[in-house]
A = this chain, B = another copy of it.
């Protein structure tokens, strides 16, 4: 692989310099690098940041490019779940094609790593899983995709789902998913014993959707922590949404945060504007790994989310009332290195020796680039250019 020399970039907004990339790593960073055999790219003063990380999404759900979907369902969780399961067939939804569109839209706009939940249910079986596994392979050089086998429709209430999850993990899913053990399955012990059992059997991690609010969510979180301890799964569990950590009961929340930190359980947020969410500074201050994601994009659930992690920085920051330049940098961090830490990616950064997984953004300062948002001028994955001006170089189907 040819070396890549990027000229005239500003690492994190600092003074203009050059960067030499070899074998997917940053091997030199100084002004006026001479590298006669390298391919040359002029960053034209753009700011280099660690690539963005989409750490909570659903690549198998988007309807991008399929015409406008009329949503007549509203915001009831159970209603949205059942509606989507039925609509997949009616709309002739192709999970491979759709996940390619979604992942490439992200990859063209600064993202090099994606964690995607993928629905597994007894109506549609492993169709979504197969489609996204194919996408993961097809995009191996563009974006790294982690797949969570996700019982979106429930587990205990839909017999046969556990067996399908087992199969999905055998097929190559990277983590076991879960969902509102009380709110959806109405059997928290059954739900959590099943998914922790599957994780143990396959030696894989866990990422659980927890929408349950306040004391109910706190109860489920305690059951998760209990099993994490009992099975020695410290550092291998993540909780997505974790709305209960946004509750007002400071002491109850604090006890949960301390327990999460003790077991190195990671938190993934979408900064959901309409509900209480974990406070970024409080979670990070407790020493907990925290990433963020856009959630499902243009699907049967929601018309608002975009495949754009800089848009998500804005949403997370606004939700957390983050306004100062320093706070903007922190919100960006959650959406880049924070997500990388949750996904277990090492060497994610803009430093000598780091992976050459980078995004280049335009602005006078880092804060301006973050506030103005996309499109990302240039995306680099393992030293290869994968996106320009917000568009992926690989064409989507």
Contact = CB atoms under 8 A, between A and B. Distances in A.
Interface of A: 67-68, 70-75, 271, 273-275, 301-304, 314-315, 317-328, 363-365, 367-368, 371
A319 B364 CA distance: 31
B68 A323 contact: no
Given A303-B367, A371-B303, A320 B71 contact: no
B321 A274 contact: yes
A145 to B, nearest CB: 26
A68 B318 contact: no
Contacts of A321: 75, 274-275
Contact of A68 (B67, B327, B364): B364
Nearest to A305: B318
A100 B75 CA distance: 40
Provide the main secondary structure of the chain A interface: loop
B324 A73 contact: yes
Contact of A304 (B70, B273, B314): B314
A365 B304 contact: no
B303 A70 contact: no
A303 B319 contact: no
A156 to B, nearest CB: 27
A67 B323 contact: no
A303 B323 CA distance: 6
B363 A74 contact: no
Given A68-B365, A274-B318, 5 more contacts: A71-B367, A72-B324, A273-B319, A274-B320, A302-B323
A21 B74 CA distance: 37
Most chain B Cβ neighbours within 10 Å, of A73, A302, A315, A325: A325
A368 to B, nearest CB: 4
A62 to B, nearest CB: 13
A274 B319 contact: yes
